[in-house]
């Protein structure tokens, strides 16, 4: 058990960690959580379903030990586009040379190689770009036939077997859900994960397809890593439950200098919509092999926090790196330090999302203002679906948001959101009169408030109706009369 009877964070921005060989053991998962992890990511591009099921069971055991809801993201692989093989394992390339991509599975050479994706060939046009091996090789299409492409080498010196490729300037007629993804998704849903992350989403139709399969069994997170997705960003945000700024593939398919401004834009638009947003990929990349990050990496994490993201994410650093716990601990320190900076609070308060037209929006906005005016220690939300708490997080208040829910899955999902300390209660609350003493009890027990402090409490009356927040009360904590 922890030293304290109640386990909570003292920062607003959340940390997501990817689980892999370096972190899947029970003691490592526990150390990661103690170091600062709020949400765990299971990357279905690696490992087996059985492996992920074992890890999930260990995470659920941590929930019991720490009495703290923990969100879990099942990140689906998505379509992986790869070329075939070469007779010698690799070929040397020269700028200006022409190489043929075709459907012939025979090993290739410097003049041709298999591209076993007829749908890609048919979608490409003269002038389109192929990026191979994470963009190290760039090819411009100069001719397209029924079953082949001819491409001129624009950049790159070497290409080896089965390298992946990207098509940045073409929307491919591919579903983001492969047969593997569908099987992995059903497995993850059966195990009870809170989030399904979709890779390589291009169009709103991709999300509609996934929603039809997932229903209300989990929330949908979109990984924005294709230029085509940027063109439909507002529609995608509206359809999704959360966003991940997946800077790895996005940085391959778009000019690197465009990514920082896109990151800021996506964070702001997700916040405006009241949807959680994660900044991911290469945040502390050097810590895969080094016990300390570079100054540039520290600045990168800090920038995401200054941008107002809900969460920052570690990938290979915790999944396969030599210093997974240290990476989390350093990220925790960076986030906490930024949030203590007066400039950070000034930035958060400068951007005000547009006020919605509903009573719930008005009450939540008023709760933020009232809590600041009386220096309340927390904004308390009693929530069925999480919508009330998400509205509160959208305001980016300086104090924690204490989210109380009878629904375990709601509590786990909210663990991703800015400033939210989630508490799952087993007994339902049927009236505002019942909620106030329960909120006080939980705030005291969790060290969020003490006697003499104020709480700003919001709820919907009558109780039990999702999205019906219509009541705000400022409560002064004082001992009950003897």
Q: Which member of 82, 140, 182, 264 is catalytic?
A: 82
Residues whose CB is less than 8 angstroms from the CB of residue 137 and which lie 6 or more positions away in sequence, other chains included? 93, 131, 153, 155, 156, 158, 159, 163
Q: Which member of 41, 58, 112, 275 is catalytic?
A: 41
Cβ-based neighbour number of residue 431 at 10 Å: 11
User: What b/e sequence results for 144-183 when a residue is b if at least 16 CB atoms lie within 10 Å of its CB, and e otherwise?
Assistant: beeebbbbebeebeebebebebbbbebebebbbbbeebee
Q: Which member of 223, 226, 271, 391 is catalytic?
A: 223
281 is known as an active-site residue: yes
Q: Which member of 281, 388, 410, 422 is catalytic?
A: 281
Q: How far apart are CA 316 and CA 336, in angstroms?
A: 22
For 338, which DSSP code? H
SS3 content of the chain, % helix, strand, coil (to 5): 40, 25, 40
The three-state DSSP-derived secondary structure of 399-410 is CCEEEEECCHHH
Q: How far apart are CA 456 and CA 374, in angstroms?
A: 9
Burial of 315 (0-12, 13-18, 19+ CB in 10 A): buried
60 is known as an active-site residue: no
275 is known as an active-site residue: no
Residues whose CB is less than 8 angstroms from the CB of residue 421 and which lie 6 or more positions away in sequence, other chains included? 8, 9, 378, 400, 401, 402, 403, 446, 448
48 is known as an active-site residue: no
Q: How far apart are CA 238 and CA 243, in angstroms?
A: 10
Catalytic residue IDs: 41, 82, 223, 281
């Amino acid at each position: 058990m922890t030293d304290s009877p109640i386990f909570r964070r003292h920062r607003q921005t959340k940390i997501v960690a990817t689980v892999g060989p370096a972190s899947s053991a029970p003691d490592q998962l526990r150390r990661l959580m103690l170091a600062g992890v709020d949400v765990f990511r299971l990357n279905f591009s690696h490992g087996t379903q059985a492996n992920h099921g074992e890890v999930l069971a260990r995470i659920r055991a941590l929930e019991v030990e720490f009495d703290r809801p923990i969100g879990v993201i099942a990140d689906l692989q998505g379509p992986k586009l790869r070329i075939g093989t070469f007779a010698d394992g690799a070929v040397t390339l020269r700028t200006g040379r022409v190489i043929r991509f075709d459907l012939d599975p025979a090993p290739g050479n410097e003049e041709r190689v298999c591209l076993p994706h007829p749908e890609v060939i048919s979608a490409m046009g003269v002038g389109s770009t192929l990026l191979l091996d994470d963009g190290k090789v760039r090819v411009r299409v100069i001719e397209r036939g029924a079953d082949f492409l001819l491409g001129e080498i624009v950049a790159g010196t070497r290409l080896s077997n089965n390298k992946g490729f990207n098509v940045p300037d073409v929307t491919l007629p591919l579903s983001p859900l492969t047969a593997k993804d569908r099987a992995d998704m059903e497995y993850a849903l059966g195990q009870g994960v809170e989030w399904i992350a979709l890779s390589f989403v291009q169009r709103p139709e991709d999300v509609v397809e996934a929603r039809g399969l997932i229903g209300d069994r989990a929330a949908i997170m979109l990984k924005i890593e294709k230029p085509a997705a940027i063109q439909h960003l507002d529609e995608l945000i509206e359809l999704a439950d959360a966003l991940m700024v997946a800077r790895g593939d996005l940085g391959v398919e778009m000019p690197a200098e465009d990514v920082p401004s896109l990151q800021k834009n996506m964070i702001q638009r997700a916040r405006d919509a009241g949807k959680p947003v994660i900044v991911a990929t290469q945040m502390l990349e050097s810590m895969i092999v080094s016990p300390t990050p570079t100054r540039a990496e520290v600045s990168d994490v800090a920038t995401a926090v200054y941008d107002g993201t809900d969460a920052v994410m570690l990938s290979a650093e915790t999944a396969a790196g030599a210093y997974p716990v240290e990476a989390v601990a350093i990220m925790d320190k960076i986030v906490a330090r930024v949030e203590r900076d007066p400039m950070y609070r000034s930035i958060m308060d400068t951007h005000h999302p547009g006020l919605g037209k509903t009573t719930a929006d008005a009450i939540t906005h008023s709760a933020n203002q009232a809590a600041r005016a009386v220096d309340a220690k927390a904004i308390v939300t009693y929530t069925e679906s999480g919508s009330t708490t998400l509205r509160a997080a959208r305001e980016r208040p300086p104090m924690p948001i204490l989210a109380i829910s009878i629904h375990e899955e709601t509590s786990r999902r909210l663990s991703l959101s800015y400033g939210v300390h989630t508490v799952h209660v087993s007994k339902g609350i049927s009236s505002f009169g019942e909620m106030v003493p329960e909120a006080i009890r939980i705030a005291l027990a969790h060290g969020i408030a003490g006697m003499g402090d104020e709480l700003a409490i919001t709820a919907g009356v009558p109780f039990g109706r999702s999205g019906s927040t219509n009541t705000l009360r400022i409560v002064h904590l004082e001992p009950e009369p003897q």
